[in-house]
Amino acid sequence: MGEWNVVVSVRVGGYQSARRLLRSFGRVHHTPFYNVLALQVDDVPRFLESLREGMSASPAQYAVLHHLMPAHKTFRFQSPEEFEALAREAVGPWLTDLAGKTFYVRMHRRGFKGRLSSQHEEQALDKFLLAGLEEMGSPGRISFDDPDAVCVVETIGQWAGLSVWTRADRERFPFLHVD
């Protein structure tokens, strides 16, 4: 599997159709996980707009896509400890965007079963961000009820992708299912 910045889960029976569809946006990679593709696009904002337009014009064609999540930052890791360190490094710059806001972290893990716990990592990143915001003097708050932002972590084996989506992003791109 090559580098990626979008994870796509495909509906049952739609794998080949999804591969063909996604090729128009970037390089599509097979993954070792059932009905999961990785995609490398050159420009995530342009990709999101193109996808939104395509879904509006031809919803049936895009119905093969179940879960789609672009990543603003990606990295490879070899251990849970390395994942945690690199994830904290990746989300650190988002502190200013989260200042005084409500948010939560959601992780979708594929691979590293028994070695990496989605719930543990979500809570660890929540605590890291809350501590950083407190230190900045702009405390944030965890809220699952229409938060200002959602930080999403996607893993495919030893690759991780992280992104942060504001309420406005989620309204503009309703296909971004953060949960």
Q: 91 exposed, middle or buried (CB, 10 Å; 0-12, 13-18, 19+)?
A: buried
CATH class of 73-172: alpha beta
pLDDT at residue 80 in the model: 94
Percentage above 90 pLDDT, the chain:
91
CB atoms within 10 A of CB 74: 21
Tokens of 142: 């965890």
Token pair recorded at residue 99: 């200042």
Per residue in 8-39, pLDDT (tens digit) is: 999 999 999 999 999 999 999 999 999 999 99
Collect all residues with Cβ–Cβ distance below 8 Å to 93 and sequence separation of at least 6: none
Token pair listed for 90 = 């990746």
Flag whether pLDDT at 111 surpasses 80.
yes
pTM exceeds 0.85 for this model:
yes
pLDDT range class, residue 113, cuts 50, 70, 90: confident
For the chain, where are the alpha helices, taking DSSP H only? 15-23, 44-57, 59-62, 80-91, 95-98, 118-136, 167-172
> How confident is the prediction for the chain on average, in pLDDT?
94
pLDDT surpasses 80 at 2: no
